[in-house]
Amino acid sequence: MPRPPAKAQAISNALAARIVEGELDPAAWLPSERELARVYEADRSTVRRALRLLSEQGLVQLRHGAGAQVRTAPRVRRAAADITRQVGGWRGFHVSARSDGRTPFTRTSVAEIEADERVAPRLGVPVGTRVLERARVQGVEGEPPVQTATTWVLLDVVEAIPVLRQVDTGPGGIYSRLEEAGHLITFEESVTCRLPRVDEQRTLEIGPDQPVLTLWRRACDQDDRVVEVTHRVVVGDRHELVYRYGAGA
């Protein structure tokens, strides 16, 4: 796929930053093409290309004869620590989405696979070791997906907790099952940002120039043994990650 002209990409990036940072509210109208061309010192065809890029990223809706409007769906405000507590029957993404008054969905597949060079070192096992993979696509009803979340669990842990092979692992999900089995879990998470792969573009319904957050999380037990690893790929403009610090957090 050919890359867009650098000027159009620069204008698109500048406008996207204003939308993602909240400077332009949901449902707000962008300035007219004529005004944007003046501000960014570009011709109107370049501005139109920039607006199409924003539309492809799902940040604006182009309305014929009216202009470009910031899409109205709010971001899911996600608490970074939402996996550490069970609320009702849920942990993680569902807890944060429901607290925002949204109706979340999860599509899950489960398979036994061989750990590759990305996963094996994080689990502390040789490449090719067989592990359980739980792959999920998550979002809120009526909107494109917010994230993919793929978890890999050591098979000896799965043998002790067979329900982990099921799509529905019960209230609180796998972390509640681990706790019930006597694992005292500590989490470690790292966050980076990049452009999406082709398969991620299809799954998350985004364009090639729409950044995603990538999060790797390891769950260690009381013996400091890694029992599972999770990799999340999150659409940046559909998600806000919130951390709380301090003695009162």
pTM over 0.85: no
How would you write the pLDDT of the chain (249 residues) with one tens digit per residue? 445 578 999 999 899 888 877 788 888 899 999 999 999 999 999 999 999 988 887 788 888 888 999 876 667 888 888 998 888 889 999 999 998 888 999 999 999 999 999 999 999 999 999 999 999 999 999 889 999 999 999 999 999 999 999 999 999 999 999 999 999 999 999 999 999 999 999 999 988 878 899 999 999 999 999 999 999 999 987 888 888 888 765
CATH of the domain at 80: 3.40.1410.10
The CA–CA distances, whole Å, from 33 to 5, 27, 92, 153, 161 equal 17, 17, 41, 52, 59
Q: What is the dihedral of CA 199, 202, 207, 208, to 10 degrees?
A: 10
Torsion angle, alpha carbons of 2, 149, 158, 165, to 10: -90
Range of the domain at 196: 76-242
Residue 248 lies inside a defined structural domain of this protein = no
We report the CATH number of the domain holding residue 11 as: 1.10.10.10
100 in the same domain as 200: yes
